[in-house]
Amino acid sequence: MSTTPHILVVEDEEHLAFGLRFNLEAEGFRVTTVGDGLAALDVLGQADDPIELVVLDLMLPGMSGYEVCEKLRQRGSSIPVLMLSARSLSEDRIRGFGVGADQYLCKPFELPELLARIKALLHRFQSGAAQSPTESTVSVNGHEVDFDTYLVDGPEGTQLTALEMKLLRYFLNHPERVIPKGELLKEVWEQSPNIQTRAPDQFILRLRKIFEDDPSHPKHFLTIRDAGYRFVPGTPST
Ligand code: CA
């Protein structure tokens, strides 16, 4: 694999596409730009010089960014997708995650923010890909989680939402480590780490209900007082 990540920018506004290419190349990435979804899927299907990350505009002529992302995931690709949108509505964001986007950034954005997210995604993908390139299910305390359907324990089981799935994914990617609440707010909710909210606590209560043998005595989704949360994937020794 090349040491210089190859990024595809899908953006129909030429000045923005140009600016993205310029800045990403300045950071040492190799960049291909296309202006619509069909061309994007074409480039993503090529075997030689494969793309390692997609920066995908939502509003495109013809096929929307949602459709591009959905089609990409239907092909079985797990390539990181960072969606760009001029729309900041939470419905759009949730729909973006629903079709399999990994990150969602609203225009106008600050360049350092975009670069930080691209680097984080590449890092996460490269470390995750080494473990399970094609695995679409994972077992959490004996419960099967399907990453394609967001179902736990099959069709008769529990349906996770996009955000619950995102939180779970974050825990799975950061096992054993104490994760501060602010980090979850930033990485999963994409909010300022300093906002006052009980959202992470509520989501963790829900994950406990689904995955813990005894939700009132959790062994996997732990709250560490005054520090944050810790996910323990293994079966505790008895
Ligand atoms: Ca556009």
Does 154 share its domain with 83?
no
How many angstroms is it from 204 CA to the middle of ligand 1?
36
Q: For residue 132, what is the DSSP state? A: -
How many angstroms is it from 121 CA to the middle of ligand 1?
22
Does 164 share its domain with 66?
no
How many angstroms is it from 65 CA to the middle of ligand 1?
9
Q: In what order do the strands lie in the sheet with 221-224?
A: 178-179, 228-231, 221-224
pLDDT at site 133? 36
Structure tokens at 100: 């399999």
How many angstroms is it from 196 CA to the middle of ligand 1?
33
Domain that holds residue 44: 6-127
Per-residue pLDDT of the chain (238 residues; tens, 9 = 90+): 447 899 999 999 999 999 999 999 999 999 999 999 999 999 999 878 889 999 999 999 999 999 999 999 888 787 889 999 887 776 777 777 777 788 888 888 889 989 988 988 887 776 654 444 345 778 889 898 888 778 898 888 888 877 888 899 889 888 889 999 999 988 888 878 888 878 888 889 999 999 999 999 999 999 999 899 999 987 654 4
How many angstroms is it from 150 CA to the middle of ligand 1?
29
Q: How far apart are CA 212 and CA 222, in angstroms?
A: 11
pLDDT at site 31? 97
How many angstroms is it from 166 CA to the middle of ligand 1?
26
Name the H helices within the chain: 14-26, 37-45, 65-74, 90-98, 111-131, 162-173, 181-187, 199-211
Q: Apex CA 171: angle with CA 150 and CA 90, to 5°?
A: 60
pLDDT at site 55? 97
How many angstroms is it from 8 CA to the middle of ligand 1?
15
pLDDT at site 137? 77
Does 49 share its domain with 69?
yes
Does 51 share its domain with 160?
no
Does 186 share its domain with 216?
yes
For residue 236, is it within any domain?
no
- Decide if 33 contacts 25 (C-beta within 8 A): no
How many angstroms is it from 170 CA to the middle of ligand 1?
29
Last residue of a domain, one of 72, 102, 127: 127
How many angstroms is it from 234 CA to the middle of ligand 1?
44
